[in-house]
Structure 1
Amino acid sequence: MKLVTFRHDGRTSIGKIVEDTIVDLPRADAQLPSTMLELLQGGAEAMERARASKVTAGNAVPLAAARLLAPVPNPSKFLAIGMNYRKHVAEAAKVGVHTPPTQVWFNKQVSCINGPDGDVHLPRVSEQLDYEVELCVVIGQRCRHVQPQDAASVIAGYMVGNDVSVRDWQLRSQTMTIGKSFDTTGPTGPWIVTPDEVPTPAALRLRLWVNGELRQDDVAGNMIHDIAAQIAHLSAAFTLEPGDLLATGTPSGVGVAMDPPSFLKAGDVMRAQIDGIGTLENRVVAEPC
């Protein structure tokens, strides 16, 4: 099942994709909510109701006529792991970033969340804007102290993410949070794909193009810390909530590690794709005054 947050005819709602149609879920079933966070908080019962909803004349929205938004626009947490692909670790050493032997996590402030086709702002205070395609995990239930073998049971689904980074602000901050959290620097989507459609997450291929030039290309199986280990590590420290987003790391090929570095400019188009999940396409624009 592919779950979306969308806008159509001035109305924002949630739905599921059936071929080229969106089933508007609260119109299909009055017991379903109109926001993704509430749907995820509804747990297995709400998800089964969504799965059972059928296309009818009263709830069908043509996919081509709708604007897809960030699937979870208001999570309580948006967390990301750094240096989690082997080749990315090697390239990061070129710019003086060295990784300790433990998982390294940081916050992306939720105000950075952007949609699958939203413009990304080139900040007025920096010219070092960079891209990072990532597999994004959506948590589906409140959990703490999750064991690795149980981690799959708390996942609601997967999305494409682009951990857009303002490198100079990132590298001069001890926590990286500011440089990872500028407004619009968290494109996610285009939908949440439920785990039944992703039987082997490690086999997923991640790619990112800038203006049609392939920059990143790797498979999720090359993570240093896999998704189960990430959930176990985080939930040992604090409670994960439905709708929380985990960006699971980026492959090599980022602009800051190129020789010479190649940062994004106004007019550039980033296309982030994960086979079997979907595609984000975001244009860089000058930050509005």
Structure 2
Amino acid sequence: MKFVTVKHNHETFVGLVDSDESKVLLLNPAEEVRTGKRSFPSSLQECIDLGESFIEQVQGLHDWVISGAHAASLYVSLDEVTLLAPIPRPNKNIFCVGKNYAEHAIEMGSEADIPEHVMVFTKAPTTVIGPNETVLNHLDVTNQLDYEGELAVIIGKKCRAINKEEALDYIFGYTILNDVTARDLQARHQQFFIGKSLDTTCPMGPWIVHKSVIENPNHLNIETIVNGEVRQSSNTKNFIFPIEEVISVLSAGMTLEPGDIIATGTPAGVGKGFKPPKFLSPGDHMEVTIENIGTLKNSIKR
């Protein structure tokens, strides 16, 4: 199951993308045909809050649609909708794992920079934009804008003090995130928050893939392309801290809630890692692709 938030005919809907990624089933309009009621919540965040009952309700609707003569009329082409970020305005800051690939830690410093413990910073909710949206160039505050393609985890159940063996059970699904970063602001403030939290610097999407589709999130190919050039190419098997450990560490003394977003770190190949650096410029086009999820595309404002 691939869940999206879309705009269609000036309304916002939660939808289910079909298997060939060409059409979307708008849940409430389809449910209205089925039952006469729009019984799904209006946002994907609220849907996730429902837990397994939401998945069961979606499965029931999907089975009804494909079993009858309704599919052709109830599905809408993806070309006819505008994809938004799956969770357009998160309830909290996005949790971000820093230096979770050894080669990235080395390119940003040396082997001494490979962390012994999970590093976490956050991005403000106001950073989030959707696929195909434009990232502001922020030339008034930075000339070192950089990309970071990442796998993001969406928490599905409230949890605290979760051990690693149980951690994956608390996930709703996975999406793609581009942790766009102002490197000069990051260096100037000696902290990550300001350099990571400029408006529009958290493209996310194109959808959330339900956890049932991803057999092993710690073994997915990930690639970032800028202007047609492959910059990042790795696999999440190279995580220093696998997803189970990240969730366990975060939840040790902190409650995680449905809809919380955890970006799991970026592999080597960021702009700052090149000599000379390859920072982003106005008009640059970025594509982040993760196996079994899809591709997130965004450009920098000219």
Structure-1-length-normalised TM-score: 0.95
Map 1:142-161 to 2 at 5 A.
142-161=158-177
**2:30 matched to 1:28?**
yes
Separation of aligned partners in 2, 1:58 and 1:97: 59
Q: CA deviation at 1:169?
A: 0.8
Q: Secondary structure of the equivalent of 1:199?
A: coil
Map 1:121-270 to 2 at 5 A.
121-123=136-138, 124-270=140-286
Match of 1:9 in 2: 9
Separation of aligned partners in 1, 2:149 and 2:185: 19
Among residues 50, 56, 69, which one is paired with 1:48 in the alignment?
56
Mapped contact 2:106–2:114 kept (Cα < 8 A): no
Deviation track 1:222-256 (CA, whole Å, cap 9, x = no partner) reads 00000000000001131111111000000000001
Q: Secondary structure of the equivalent of 2:185?
A: helix
Separation of aligned partners in 2, 1:101 and 1:221: 17
Q: Which has the larger radius of gyration?
A: 2
Separation of aligned partners in 1, 2:289 and 2:112: 26
Q: CA deviation at 1:51?
A: 2.3
- Choose 57-66 or 214-223, whichever is displaced more: 57-66
- Choose 230-239 or 172-181, whichever is displaced more: 172-181
Letter in 1 for 2:48: L
Q: CA deviation at 1:41?
A: 0.3
Q: CA deviation at 1:100?
A: 4.0
Q: Secondary structure of the equivalent of 1:253?
A: coil
Separation of aligned partners in 2, 1:6 and 1:97: 44
Deviation track 1:34-84 (CA, whole Å, cap 9, x = no partner) reads 100000001110121112223436642222211111001122231101000
How many residues align structurally?
285
| Unaligned residue ranges in structure 2 (runs of 5+) | 32-37
| Unaligned residue ranges in structure 1 (runs of 5+) | none
Match of 2:34 in 1: none
Match of 1:62 in 2: 77
Q: Secondary structure of the equivalent of 1:160?
A: strand
Separation of aligned partners in 2, 1:284 and 1:99: 30
Among residues 66, 83, 98, which one is paired with 1:82 in the alignment?
98
Separation of aligned partners in 1, 2:101 and 2:220: 14
Deviation track 1:201-228 (CA, whole Å, cap 9, x = no partner) reads 1221000011000000000000000000
Separation of aligned partners in 2, 1:59 and 1:37: 23
Mapped contact 1:23–1:53 kept (Cα < 8 A): no
Mapped contact 1:15–1:24 kept (Cα < 8 A): yes
Match of 1:38 in 2: 46
Q: Secondary structure of the equivalent of 2:109?
A: helix
* Percent of residue pairs identical: 41
Q: Secondary structure of the equivalent of 1:53?
A: helix
Q: Secondary structure of the equivalent of 1:234?
A: helix
Separation of aligned partners in 1, 2:298 and 2:43: 23
Letter in 2 for 1:173: H
**2:109 matched to 1:93?**
yes
Change (3 A) 1:97 1:68: farther
Mapped contact 1:218–1:251 kept (Cα < 8 A): yes
